[in-house]
Amino acid sequence: MTQLLDIRNLCIDFPMRNLVLNAVKNFDLQVNAGEIIGLVGESGAGKSTVGNAITGLLGKPGRISSGEVYFQGENIRDYTDEQMRKLRGRRIGTIFQDPQSSLNPLMTVGKQLVETIQECLGLKAKDAEARAIELLNDVGIPDPQSRLNSYPHQFSGGMRQRVVIALALAGDPELIIADEPTTALDVSIQSQILKLIRRICDERGLGVIMVTHDIGVVSEIADRVAVMFRGELVEVGDVNQVLRLPQHEYTQNLIVAVPSPDKRLHRFTCVDLIEGEAAQSKIDVQSHWLGKTNAGVEASVGPAIQVKNMSLAFRLKNSVFKSQRTFVQAVDNVSFDIQQGETFGLVGESGSGKSTVAKIIAGLHFADTGDLSIYGQKIGPKHNDLARRHSRTFLQVVFQDPYSSMNSRMNIRDIVAEPMRFHRLTENESQTRQIVDDLLDHVGLGKTAARRYPHEFSGGQRQRIAIARALASRPRILICDEPTSALDVSTQAQILNLLRDLQDELGLTMLFISHDLPVVRQMCDRIAVMRHGKICEIASNEDLFESPQHAYSQHLLNLMPNLGAA
């Protein structure tokens, strides 16, 4: 095996206003021809920065402060800008995360490919076109000849990522840097793309650096894995060896935090390495304000949430004439019950309507037809403030994106206190403040958090704040809409543990929405699988994962990346 890339002692700094961020510290890595190296780490670990440094695309104000990068024996730190430009594309190809934005929407795919091929290889237009067809054929695009004239929007997400891969191969490079190539794709497409990258790597003897946060991806295709933590390389080795017998404590924690699809654990073995500062002092929920029920909420028997024959169509194209309007059936005759105290999972790929169902229940959307009742209170499909008033305090939502779910102009105290103040749940302001402090403490943030603003917190901490806010109205039902999909694995494990703890302490009913099957496996008691707005199957956790009935459920389960099988 020939060595392609040799990174020695690489250090990358980002000098900022009042601090110097050492994004990468003393990084050593060798890449051989024909092997795929998975570069794993959490957000901010510096893995993408390494990739950008190799291609000379470090964003300002980043700079390589020391260390060498040898590509086929040549030190590319000595290269001029012109040489670097030639290196990119011709000898190092890049695959970016989002196929939506890495193709020019105004140029046909063929034109983009031919242009790149001509630029890189200096071929004539006709030869370049022949080569473009060959490349598209190689990456598995059917009927490449006619697809040359299609625009990027005429391809699906997975197909578009194939085109991006073809573009990366256009200059016949020896090394490919793939930066989260499957993160923006659905699971079923993810595995196809991974197989494609593996095949191309084997056929052409390419070296591939696969930057990813997803250990599942790495276990599926990589030969070797390099683990980064806070800018440092903590472990490199054969993929099976690292995943089975991780040496470094961080790697061990990372692997433990990955939700397992095989068996259901009660808690994740917690990882206080990553966000360890949060000193928790739990309150005794039973005797606390939080443990009491709101006035006017009487205990009732029967299901917490009942959804009957719910349907909602979104208008795609509006028109004065009824016949000209086009609709998409986002929710199609959906029915289910959620029992008190259970965690009900809704899974499905993007666009399956799972979030829409949650929003209808939360009163953010309104269904066209169907019945909704919450704790026996009929709400009906339409806008109904009067019936809603009853459920306002005891139904809360934890949203997906911790960065946009809080008003950045308000401090944490005001954010968390808002539901209490609005519904007048406390006797006076000092009690409100006390409860806010207790809540923040309880979800694992310090007492000082209340005076600060959202931007001072990391994604995981913000999600804790969002949970504290949701708890502040003393809810009985918590709707979690992909609460951890924007978070790193280890943070995800902590947040899931927190939700579990809270459920046990407060007897919460949870509606848990996720596209991530292993997470659902860990969290939910019963699960509904959705596709195209319809529910395919409702089954208990064990039944669904052990013996799925519906063909689509089986298909989804087969696609799960499995660490154990690596």
Q: Under the rule (CB under 8 A), what is the footprint of another protein? A: 17-23, 230-232, 247-250, 273, 359, 362-364, 388-389, 392-393, 395-397, 399-401, 404-410, 418-419, 422-423, 466, 469, 473
CB of 404 to another protein, least distance (A): 4
Q: At what angle do helices 249-257 and 489-506 cross, to 10 degrees?
A: 50
Nearest approach in angstroms of CB 18 to another protein is: 5
Q: Cβ closer to another protein: 79 or 453? A: 453
Least Å from the CB of residue 17 to another protein: 6
Alpha-carbon span 69 to 53, nearest angstrom: 9
User: 259 in helix, strand or coil?
Assistant: coil
Q: Are 132 and 113 in contact (CB under 8 A)?
A: yes
Encoding tokens for residue 354?
A: 């799972």
**Nearer to another protein (CB atom), residue 361 or residue 556:** 361
Annotate 146-160 with DSSP letters as a single string: HHTT--GGGS-HHHH
Task: Give CA–CA dist 532/17, Å, rounded.
Answer: 49
Number of residues in the chain: 566
Residue 281 Cβ, how far from another protein at the closest point, in Å?
Answer: 22
- Report, in Å, the least distance between residue 364 CB and another protein: 5
CB of 53 to another protein, least distance (A): 17
Considering the complex, state which of residue 202 and residue 249 has its C-beta at the smaller distance from another protein. Answer: 249
- Return d(Cα 337, Cα 304) in angstroms, integer: 8
Q: Which is nearer to another protein, 71 or 399 (CB)?
A: 399
Helix (H, G, I), strand (E, B) or coil at 43: coil
Q: Which amino acid is at 146?
A: S
Comparing CB distances to another protein, the nearer of 213 and 521 is: 213
Q: How far is the CB of 230 from another protein (least distance, A)?
A: 5
Angle at the Cα of 184 from the Cα atoms of 347 and 162, rounded to 5 degrees: 120
3-state secondary structure of 235: strand
CA–CA separation, 96 and 181 (whole Å): 6
Q: How many CB atoms lie within 10 A of CB 230?
A: 16
Could you tell me if 488 and 496 are in contact, meaning their C-beta atoms sit under 8 angstroms apart? no
CB 248, min distance to another protein, A: 6
Q: Among residues 473 and 497, whose Cβ is nearest to another protein?
A: 473
Report whether 416 contacts 436 (CB < 8 A): yes
466: alpha, beta or left, given left = phi > 0 and alpha = psi -120 to 50?
alpha
Q: Which residues contact 470 (CB under 8 A, 6 or more apart)?
A: 396, 397, 398, 478
Closest CA to 314 of 331, 301, 297: 331
In the complex with another protein, the residue whose CB is nearer, 244 or 282, is 244
Give min distance, CB of 504 to another protein, in A: 23
Q: Would you say 502 or 529 has its CB closer to another protein?
A: 502
Q: At what angle do helices 187-204 and 157-169 cross, to 10 degrees?
A: 20
Cα separation, 416 vs 473, whole angstroms? 9
What is the nearest approach in angstroms of another protein to the Cβ of residue 181? 26
Of the pair 75, 408, the CB lying nearest another protein is at: 408
C-beta neighbour count of 125 within 10 angstroms: 11
**Greatest CA separation for the chain:** 80
C-beta closer to another protein: residue 425 or 506: 425
> 120 or 449, CB closer to another protein?
449
**Do 316 and 483 meet the contact criterion of CB atoms below 8 Å apart?**
no
Instruction: Copy the structure tokens of residue 244.
Output: 């089975």
Give min distance, CB of 419 to another protein, in A.
5
CB of 105 to another protein, least distance (A): 19
Q: Which residue number, 250 or 268, has a Cβ lying nearer to another protein? A: 250
User: Do 179 and 214 form a contact (C-beta atoms < 8 A)?
Assistant: no
Residue 235, Cα to own-chain centre: how many angstroms? 24
